[in-house]
Structures are given as structure tokens and as C-alpha cells.
A and B are shown apart, each in its own frame.
Chain A
């Protein structure tokens, strides 16, 4: 009896382990009453630090479940919704949500690896499917099969702090249209006093390379050659991007002294109200206000300076490849209800207004100019809490500037391009030609290795 104690212990351990293993499996639908009961998990519940938003989400879940008896919706609030670190493992471990969000950067990868369900048969669940931007739908389609529901679409502009413009003696209704004007304005804003930054820019954690891409696209340059085989950023446009940043940082001293690493760093700075301008899409305004305590009325957005093209960004909902057809349909119904219905869920602008959201920011062009898009825009303007005029110049510019998708192997390239960005922002004597040439060599060898 005594000798079995150790055995018992290990059996207990392994039993618990297997039990835990079992609980990780997706819940099997069980028949109850007439309708088949389905349980789905959905990603992107707003974090606890945004209580009103979270409440709105929870209300939507309750409404949805009432309208769809038999469907149980569980939410997860991991932030950010898509974390590349946990994505593969969660899927492998059976813990991935039924409906999850993928940023445009990762579409190709996720689809190629078979990590998203082919939803071609179910697209009709999304009632406004035909009104979604065709060019974005193209991105979630491979070999004629659809793998996602485009959720957000935007192009990059120039976000600026109107209050700081006024404080620096600039006209907030007449934001800079050229890089020379950006430099001038940045200098004036930095001149307000210590701690003020005219123009904020990233330099690490892959965000530096990402913003370099925004900037070089805007100037008409490119990251890769059209056949995606060689790097194309060691060009006059690439040099101009770095030269401008270098001069603003070291000649004008208008970019502050701190290197910004990772997405949150610049957002916090922007939210603190001491940064004058940054490259960004309208969602920056929403995030700065909702997550980083920025003052809604302070932020404006205008078209990208001297724009020739604009990096388009966004995200799509995709469905767990292990989901059953019932689960997939239920999840798409949720996506339809919460994210794609005029006047409901996230497009319930009246509610947004009542809980103090910055309504009026044109932060999502996923429906473009379609009838749905126009209805959304009308509704948005009707309930606007912000002077919509603050964004008018962006909307006009966005209509005329051609959108441009992210390059292949975006994350690998962004890591490589972090180096020249951090170079010009951290070293006064940085050799721009050398930095670009080095990055080009690295990118070419990376591209060769990836085939």
C-alpha cells in the first residue's frame, strides 16, 4: 500500500493533465429543445480599462443571444486582439476563438498556413457583403475562396493636435500640405517649451519599419520591386524619408529626444497632448481618445503630405478552421450583427454619442462609397460629437489618393527597416546612404532565403 503512494501521485498528476487537456477542446454542440445549441467564443471584447465600451459590447452580446436562441456567446478580451505570439499556439491548442481578428499584415500568412476557415458558402450571412470594398475583399480571397470578413479599412494621413497648433500660433484649419510645411509647423510646436514634440515617429519594435513604409509610399516610392524579389527602398524617395526625419530630429530639434519603440509609445505621447503631428490613420484619433485619454476635440486629421499613394491598413474577421458549420454560421451572424449592421453594434453611433465616444471620425472606410457606406456616413454625421469639418480634408484626400497594400513578408521587412529608422533618430552622424544600403542587402538576402 505504501509503495503505491508515489504511483498514485503520478497517476493523479497525469489524470489532471489529461483532464485539463480535454477541457481545451471546443465545446461539442448538444441538442437541446428544437434548435441546436451552439457555443462560440468571439475575440476583441474591449478591455476593462474602457468600461463604457465594454458595457456596450456586453449589451450587444445579450441582445444578440436573445435574437438567436440556442447560441451562447463567450467573449475574450486579450489586448491586442491579434497577438502573433499566441496565435499559432492557441489554434494548435484548441483555444482559438471561433471568430478572431487578423490584421492586414498577416492575412497572407494565416490563409497560406490553413489557419482560417473557408467561408465562401456562408458569406450571405453578412447581409451587406456585396457593399464591402472589393479591393479589400480581394485581400482575404485566395484561389477564389473567401477566408475573412473585412472589418476595418483605412488609409494613412497626418494626425495632428489642433490645440497645439493654436498654441504655437498655427492655423488648425489649415494643416500642412507639404513636408516643408510639416517641418515648419513641427519647429513651431517644439518651440512652445520643453517637453513639446513637433512630430512624433517610431523607431523600433517593427513599428519603425511600418511607418517608414507609410512614408515612402506617400512619396511615391516602394518597398519591393513589382515581382517581390528585390528590395526597392534604397531610392531617392527612401532617402528623402530618412533625410527629412534626420533633419527634423537633429537640425530642427523638433522630434523630442526619446526613441519610441512599440505601438503604444507614440500613442501615449500623442494622448498626453504634447505631440503635434504623426503619421496615422483616423483610427489613431479613436484610439488616442479611447485608450490613451486624449481630449477628443483636440485631434484633427488631414491628407498625407504631398501624397502619391497611401498605405492601406485594416483588419478582417476570420473563423477558426476547426469550427463546425453551425459554429461558423453563428459566429458570422455575430459578426454581421455587431460589426456590419447600420445603426447596430459598433455602428450604433447614437449610443456611441451617449457614452462619450468620439463619433464623427471617419475611421473606417470598409464600406467605401457603397449605399451601406453612405448610410453609415450619414448616420455618423447625424450623431457626430466632433466637428466633422476637422476631418474633411482627410476624407477628400483619401478619396483621391490610390491605396497601396503592405509588402510581402511585411514583418521581416519592418524588422530590417527599424534599423535605418532608429539610426537617423538616434545618431546625429548617421549615414543615410549607408543605412539604406545595409538594409537593402539584408532585405535582399532575406527575400532570397524565403524564395
Chain B
């Protein structure tokens, strides 16, 4: 796995300019440290930095600010032109209304339940499969892995209809297994896990086997503890993906008391006022933003692991 963190190369290329506050260069990039710390380079650098900061904040943070403040305004204030930058009289009422109208309590509980349940199923299925393919090496193991990876070439939307028809045939509509089992058929997870398991030294496993450990104990007490980082990455992505999913739950979880939050919002958003919609969206966003705050490093590390996908 490639870490996103800075490639530390202490000493080399560090700006040695005597001018006040040289821009520190930890690692060499396109622009050379000399250019960067030349009088013009410094000016351009600060200009670009400020521009990028402002632009990014406007592009990615301001919409969310607008969403949050939108929820705090009254419908009348929302319809006002030009709009107000700050809510004139912030009131959290829209959150409570949204909570009731969208039935967000039920929807959130559903979504969390589906995500966590899906995670358990997915990990159980994918970890044991990757372990078998990596360490137990069955006959035709490579063929099976190849076929699993081949599914990555087929985008989800393309097999949506036949998958749906299959689930209907099995009578799994409005049953969480309709979300969990297809999600467990994840070739990419198995690939990532297998690649990590492959890197575990043979000696460790053989040592455990000499102590009389069977395959399950080897998995539990040798492989899994070593694999904590990759398990973390796979876990987070599995949970986040299932929390974000829209089309599939839209099709298979149709009962209003079994819907996920995304689907529930989409069904009711047309019938309520704009500030209530924003309140609902904000409440929906909060769990994911919290997850992001906590697991930021794992997520970013997993992303680069993900770049080998395909």
C-alpha cells in the first residue's frame, strides 16, 4: 500500500534562503526549491495558495454551509431574493419537522443496520475466501480468483435488471439479505485481502501449524491480527459504500418502514418545504462526516489501494 503521507526526504533540497520565513520544502516536486524561494516564486506561491484556499472553500465548503443555514431559515426567507448570507432568525424547527416528516429516525436505524449487517456478512465471506485463496491454495484457486475479478469489469448498472429479477425470484424483496449477499460478492475486497495475506511470511504460519493450530486458528490468531490495517480499510469502504448506495436499495427495499435514508429522502423530498429538505440532508450527512473525521487516514490510504483496481 502506498501511503498518501508526505515522502519525507529530510535535508535534501530544503530552502536555505536567508530571506524571512523561507517556504519549507520537504520533498521535491515540479517546481524547484530555488525557484520557489526566489522573490517572485514566493509571491506567486502565496498568491496561488490563497487562491486555491479560497476556491476550494467556496467550491466544497460553502455549499455545505448553504445547506446548513438553509435548514435554519424560514421558507419565506429562503424564497427571498437576493438571499441572506446568514439566517436572519435561525430556528432549528426545520430539523424537527424534517425528522418527523421523513421519519428520519426509522430511516437512519435501517440504514445503519443494513450497513453494519452488510459489513459483518461481507467480512465473513470475503476474509475467509481470501484466506482460502491465499494460504490454503485449493485446486482451481486462480481460476476462481480470475472469475471473481472479472466481475469488476462489469459495471453494477449493467447487471441491475437481471440481478433484480433474480432477487425477486428468490423472494428477497424487502429483506436485508437482498442488500447483504450481493454486496458480499465483492471481487475487489477479496483481491485486496488476498494480496495482503500473500505478504504474510510463511514461517509465521508454519510455526503456528507446528504448534498444532488448524486453519481456523491460524486465521484467527495469526493472519487476522497482522492484517488489521487492510481489514480497517476494507471495513470502512464497505460500510461507507453501503451507506451511500441508492439505486439498489431503491429497488429492493421498497416498504416505507424498511427504506434506507437516501431512498426515503428521495421519495419525500418533493412534498416538503425547502428548509425541511435541507434539514433532512444535513442530518443525513452528519454520520458520514463524522466517519470521515475519525477514519480520514484509513480512507485516504484505502483510496490509493483502490487505485490499483481494474
A49-B101, A265-B270 given; A93·B255 CB < 8 A: no
B 165-182 binary contact with A (CB < 8 Å = 1; else 0): 000111111110100010
Q: Are B168 and A89 in contact (CB under 8 A)?
A: yes
For the complex formed, measure the closest distance between the CB of A448 and the CB atoms of chain B, giving whole angstroms: 25
Name 5 extra pairs, CB < 8 A, besides A86-B254, A194-B81, A291-B271.
A16-B177, A49-B272, A78-B254, A93-B171, A93-B174
B77 proximal to A (CB < 8 A): no
Helix, strand, loop or mixed for chain B's interface? Answer: helix
Q: Are B175 and A20 in contact (CB under 8 A)?
A: yes
A228 proximal to B (CB < 8 A): no
B216 proximal to A (CB < 8 A): yes
Q: Are B270 and A78 in contact (CB under 8 A)?
A: no
Within A10-41, the residues touching B (CB, 8 Å) are 13, 16-17, 20-21, 24
Task: Give the size of the chain B interface in residues (CB under 8 angstroms).
Answer: 34
Q: Are A93 and B103 in contact (CB under 8 A)?
A: no
11 A-B pairs in the complex with CB atoms less than 8 angstroms apart: A9-B125, A13-B177, A21-B171, A24-B173, A48-B103, A79-B256, A85-B251, A89-B173, A93-B172, A267-B271, A291-B271
A233–B196 Cα gap in the complex (Å)?
A: 65
Residue of A nearest to B136 (CB): A3
Within A161-211, the residues touching B (CB, 8 Å) are 194-195
A268–B125 Cα gap in the complex (Å)?
A: 47
Contact of A17 among B101, B132, B177, B217 (CB under 8 A): B177
For the complex formed, measure the closest distance between the CB of B135 and the CB atoms of chain A, giving whole angstroms: 13
For residue A79, which residues in chain B have a CB less than 8 angstroms away from its CB? 256, 267
For residue B256, which residues in chain A have a CB less than 8 angstroms away from its CB? 47, 76-79
A264 proximal to B (CB < 8 A): yes
Within B49-86, the residues touching A (CB, 8 Å) are 79, 81
Q: Are A94 and B171 in contact (CB under 8 A)?
A: yes
Which of B170, B171, B267 lies at the interface centre, i.e. has the most chain A CB atoms within 10 A of its CB?
A: B171
Q: Are A95 and B174 in contact (CB under 8 A)?
A: yes
For residue A94, which residues in chain B have a CB less than 8 angstroms away from its CB? 171
A121 proximal to B (CB < 8 A): no
A24–B164 Cα gap in the complex (Å)?
A: 16
Q: Are A268 and B270 in contact (CB under 8 A)?
A: yes
Within A70-84, the residues touching B (CB, 8 Å) are 76-79, 83
For residue A16, which residues in chain B have a CB less than 8 angstroms away from its CB? 177
B110 proximal to A (CB < 8 A): no
Contact of A20 among B101, B177, B216 (CB under 8 A): B177
For the complex formed, measure the closest distance between the CB of A294 and the CB atoms of chain B, giving whole angstroms: 12
A226 proximal to B (CB < 8 A): no
Q: Are B181 and A13 in contact (CB under 8 A)?
A: yes
Q: Are A93 and B100 in contact (CB under 8 A)?
A: no
A134–B164 Cα gap in the complex (Å)?
A: 40
A16-B177, A20-B177 given; A92·B168 CB < 8 A: yes
Within A354-372, the residues touching B (CB, 8 Å) are none
A85–B255 Cα gap in the complex (Å)?
A: 12
B positions within 8 Å CB-CB of A: 79, 81, 100-101, 103, 121, 124-125, 128, 132, 164, 168-175, 177, 181, 214-217, 251, 254-256, 267-268, 270-272
For residue A195, which residues in chain B have a CB less than 8 angstroms away from its CB? 79, 81
Residue of B nearest to A3 (CB): B215
A78–B174 Cα gap in the complex (Å)?
A: 13
For residue B124, which residues in chain A have a CB less than 8 angstroms away from its CB? 9
A6 proximal to B (CB < 8 A): yes
A90 proximal to B (CB < 8 A): yes
A76–B79 Cα gap in the complex (Å)?
A: 35
10 tightest A-B contacts by CB? A264-B270, A2-B216, A21-B171, A2-B214, A93-B173, A20-B175, A24-B171, A86-B254, A89-B168, A49-B101
For residue B271, which residues in chain A have a CB less than 8 angstroms away from its CB? 49, 264, 267-268, 291-292
Residue of B nearest to A17 (CB): B177
For the complex formed, measure the closest distance between the CB of B250 and the CB atoms of chain A, giving whole angstroms: 8
Contact of B215 among A2, A13, A264, A292 (CB under 8 A): A2
Q: Are A21 and B172 in contact (CB under 8 A)?
A: yes
For residue A3, which residues in chain B have a CB less than 8 angstroms away from its CB? 214-215
For residue B270, which residues in chain A have a CB less than 8 angstroms away from its CB? 262, 264-265, 268
A49-B271, A78-B254, A268-B271 given; A20·B171 CB < 8 A: yes
For the complex formed, measure the closest distance between the CB of A24 and the CB atoms of chain B, giving whole angstroms: 4
For residue B100, which residues in chain A have a CB less than 8 angstroms away from its CB? 48-49
A9–B181 Cα gap in the complex (Å)?
A: 13
For residue A86, which residues in chain B have a CB less than 8 angstroms away from its CB? 254
Which of B169, B173, B215 lies at the interface centre, i.e. has the most chain A CB atoms within 10 A of its CB?
A: B173
Residue of A nearest to B97 (CB): A49
For residue A268, which residues in chain B have a CB less than 8 angstroms away from its CB? 270-271
For residue B132, which residues in chain A have a CB less than 8 angstroms away from its CB? 6
A3–B219 Cα gap in the complex (Å)?
A: 12
For the complex formed, measure the closest distance between the CB of A73 and the CB atoms of chain B, giving whole angstroms: 17
For the complex formed, measure the closest distance between the CB of B228 and the CB atoms of chain A, giving whole angstroms: 21
For the complex formed, measure the closest distance between the CB of B230 and the CB atoms of chain A, giving whole angstroms: 20
Q: Are B267 and A17 in contact (CB under 8 A)?
A: no
For residue A2, which residues in chain B have a CB less than 8 angstroms away from its CB? 214-217
For residue A267, which residues in chain B have a CB less than 8 angstroms away from its CB? 271
For residue B170, which residues in chain A have a CB less than 8 angstroms away from its CB? 17, 21
A265–B270 Cα gap in the complex (Å)?
A: 7
For residue B272, which residues in chain A have a CB less than 8 angstroms away from its CB? 49
A5–B201 Cα gap in the complex (Å)?
A: 25
A93–B81 Cα gap in the complex (Å)?
A: 50
For residue A5, which residues in chain B have a CB less than 8 angstroms away from its CB? 128, 216
For residue B268, which residues in chain A have a CB less than 8 angstroms away from its CB? 49
For the complex formed, measure the closest distance between the CB of A246 and the CB atoms of chain B, giving whole angstroms: 26
A47–B267 Cα gap in the complex (Å)?
A: 12
For the complex formed, measure the closest distance between the CB of A174 and the CB atoms of chain B, giving whole angstroms: 30
A267–B270 Cα gap in the complex (Å)?
A: 9
Residue of B nearest to A24 (CB): B171
Within A285-307, the residues touching B (CB, 8 Å) are 291-292
A83–B103 Cα gap in the complex (Å)?
A: 20
A267–B128 Cα gap in the complex (Å)?
A: 53
A222–B240 Cα gap in the complex (Å)?
A: 52
Which of B125, B177, B181, B214 lies at the interface centre, i.e. has the most chain A CB atoms within 10 A of its CB?
A: B177
A21–B81 Cα gap in the complex (Å)?
A: 54
For residue B164, which residues in chain A have a CB less than 8 angstroms away from its CB? 89
A 389-406 binary contact with B (CB < 8 Å = 1; else 0): 000000000000000000
Within A35-68, the residues touching B (CB, 8 Å) are 47-49
A194–B80 Cα gap in the complex (Å)?
A: 10
For the complex formed, measure the closest distance between the CB of A420 and the CB atoms of chain B, giving whole angstroms: 24
A47–B102 Cα gap in the complex (Å)?
A: 10
A194–B79 Cα gap in the complex (Å)?
A: 10
Residue of A nearest to B178 (CB): A20
Within A250-270, the residues touching B (CB, 8 Å) are 262, 264-265, 267-268
For residue B103, which residues in chain A have a CB less than 8 angstroms away from its CB? 48
Residue of A nearest to B216 (CB): A2
